[in-house]
Amino acid sequence: MDLSLLIILIHDISSVVIRLASVALIPGWHKPSVAMAWLLVIFFWPIPGLILYLVFGSFKLPRQRAERHEKVLESLDRSCCAAWEAERPQEKDLPDDLLHLLRFASLAEKLGDMPPTRGNAVEILDSTPEMAKLMASDIDAARNHVNLLYYIFSRDEVTEPVFEALERAAARGVSCRILVDYLGSRSFLRKDAPALIEAGIKVVGALPLSIFRRNPLSARFDLRNHRKIAVVDGRLGYMGSHNMIEPSYGGKARGLLWKDLTMRVEGPEVLQLQRVFMEDWYVETLELLDERAGDIHFSYTGEHILQTVPSGPSYRTENYQRLVVTALHSAYREVIITTPYLIPDESLIEGLEVAALNGASIKLVIPRRSDQFFVGKAARAYYDFLMAKGVRIFLYDDGVIHAKTMSVDGDLCFFGSSNFDIRSFALNFEINCVIYGKRSVAGVIAEQRKFLDASEELFMEEWEKRPFLLKAVEGVAKLMSPLL
């Protein structure tokens, strides 16, 4: 037999075998939407599709990483976080307008293993330079430790004050640790980390890249640590959507500036941020930090009730997605969502529809121009469907909106690192804060309304006029959206 004919025969037989095996196995390993998307890829492109599936198909963490996470959760004695219990809101102490949220707080605690805390002081920051300068000032006042965890960490003209403050802190004996995502901060790890290590600062890359999982701590290539956390002496904390990089991200979106929000917190909530950092640090290094290191003196004078909810593939369920959908089902007045990336799953779409049917005005603020072509096209494919369900879509024009927030009926709010897409719900390690009460939520809603004021509402009549070719591209992207 001619060699070329033999190659064709092997290719054809293997393609059939791959298709049949995929139909038999993949539906049992994934949700229907994800399974259908993978089957579509494999049926049209059997051998390359199989390779892609082997690299990107599994949502599960390697066994060693999962075991480390379980071990550190067992090792962290909740008594070291006695402040959580001391400042847990009691039903008798809560105003009537918050009592209906106790059940929601209980669900959030079951998912994230951390209760709501009261007595927190909060400051919302919307400027990257302002955040960097304020954090540098807090680091300069540090006496015991500084713990930073960021998806993107970069030394540039905006973040330079933080780097200099870290070097000064290390020089006076403060323990400084930086944990960054290996992919998001690969340039920093290569260029800037060696000098910091030389200065006495511990730098670790999370989720090291290993496409075929040769490293027992690596997962599929695109499972990333997307969290943004800073903790100073266990007393002050930062969390939100800001990465540690100047707001144009090196001109990533043709010079447009990223618009983010970060929350600076003082109070018992900081210990919950600290705990999430400790979990991630242990998984990467096997070093169990002492959460009580140094004297922590909280003022407890703040008025805000906050609750940290971490999420990611190390948890048994999609924590943040469950909370978002639950909140939507209870909404009856107004829901405002800001997110840079929108790829809703079936549950999120149903939640938005239920909220609209219950009479809630739903306002969704997303960037007019996405920095990611395929993800942006997939999101656009849902616009007409969402508008038909009663969702009002606002396209943000003043840069790239990157703040990830959701307010519900003016007394409940989500604030953190998670986008409203399948990737953030299921694949990335994220951290979000639940904010309770009208006065506490008011500051975030004020920022949301600023984003609304800088946006233009999209109407169905206008949207339906876009070219057929563009609709076709969006349709293909939508088919692949469960894999994005």
**How far is it, in rounded angstroms, from Cα 124 to Cα 118?**
17
Q: What is the pLDDT of residue 256?
A: 85
**Active-site residue 404, yes or no?**
yes
Q: Which of 30, 69, 145, 228 is catalytic?
A: 228
**Active-site residue 226, yes or no?**
yes
**How far is it, in rounded angstroms, from Cα 162 to Cα 156?**
10
Does the pLDDT value for residue 288 go beyond 70? yes
What residues are paired with 203 via a beta bridge? Answer: 178
Q: Which of 138, 280, 345, 409 is catalytic?
A: 409
Q: What is the pLDDT of residue 44?
A: 73
When pLDDT is averaged across residues 3-13 and rounded to a whole number, the result is 66
Q: What is the pTM of this model?
A: 0.87
Domain architecture of the chain: domains with CATH: 3-56 (no CATH), 63-94+116-305 (3.30.870.10), 319-483 (3.30.870.10)
**How far is it, in rounded angstroms, from Cα 414 to Cα 44?**
40
pLDDT-based confidence at residue 200 (cuts at 50, 70, 90): very high
Q: Is 266 helix (H, G, I), strand (E, B) or coil?
A: strand
Does the pLDDT value for residue 139 go beyond 70? yes
Strands 404-408 and 334-338, sheet pairing: antiparallel
Q: What is the pLDDT of residues 329-371, one digit of tens each?
A: 999 999 999 999 888 888 999 999 999 999 999 999 999 887 6
Q: Which of 404, 411, 421, 478 is catalytic?
A: 404
Does the pLDDT value for residue 71 go beyond 80? no
Burial 35-47 (b: 16+ CB within 10 A, else e): bebbbebbeeebe
Does the pLDDT value for residue 58 go beyond 70? no
**Active-site residue 295, yes or no?**
no
Does the pLDDT value for residue 484 go beyond 80? no
**Active-site residue 363, yes or no?**
no
Instruction: List the alpha helices (DSSP H) in 153-268.
Output: 160-171, 186-191, 193-198
Q: What is the pLDDT of residues 413-458, one digit of tens each?
A: 999 999 998 888 888 999 999 999 999 999 999 999 999 999 999 9
Q: What is the pLDDT of residue 149?
A: 98
Lowest mean pLDDT of 92-101, 170-179, 259-268, name the range: 92-101
| Residues 6+ away with beta carbon under 8 Å from 462 | none
Does the pLDDT value for residue 324 go beyond 90? yes
Q: What is the pLDDT of residue 65?
A: 66
Amino acid at 455: S
**How far is it, in rounded angstroms, from Cα 294 to Cα 201?**
18
Rg (CA), the chain: 23
Task: Say how many C-beta atoms besides its own lie within 10 A of residue 204's C-beta.
Answer: 18
When pLDDT is averaged across residues 139-168 and rounded to a whole number, the result is 96
Q: Is 400 helix (H, G, I), strand (E, B) or coil?
A: strand
When pLDDT is averaged across residues 315-324 and rounded to a whole number, the result is 91
**Active-site residue 228, yes or no?**
yes
**How far is it, in rounded angstroms, from Cα 82 to Cα 228?**
24
Lowest mean pLDDT of 40-54, 300-314, 407-421, name the range: 40-54
Mean pLDDT of the chain: 84
**Active-site residue 377, yes or no?**
no
> Which of 367, 209, 358, 203 lies closest to 285 in space, CA to CA?
203
Q: Which class for 83: exposed (0-12), middle (13-18), buried (19 or more C-beta within 10 A)?
A: buried
Provide the token pair at 172. 């006076």
pLDDT-based confidence at residue 85 (cuts at 50, 70, 90): low
When pLDDT is averaged across residues 251-266 and rounded to a whole number, the result is 89
Q: What is the pLDDT of residue 357?
A: 94
Q: Which of 138, 145, 181, 233 is catalytic?
A: 233
Helix (H) or strand (E) holding 388: helix 383-388
Provide the token pair at 340. 């840079």
Cα–chain-centroid distance for residue 188?
21
Q: Which of 145, 226, 259, 377 is catalytic?
A: 226
Q: What is the pLDDT of residue 213?
A: 46
Q: Does 141 or 3 have the greater pLDDT score?
A: 141
Provide the token pair at 248. 């144009």
Q: What is the pLDDT of residue 360?
A: 96
DSSP category for residue 81: G
**How far is it, in rounded angstroms, from Cα 312 to Cα 416?**
14
Does the pLDDT value for residue 148 go beyond 80? yes
Q: What is the pLDDT of residues 29-49, one digit of tens each?
A: 666 667 767 777 777 777 777
Q: What is the pLDDT of residue 162?
A: 98
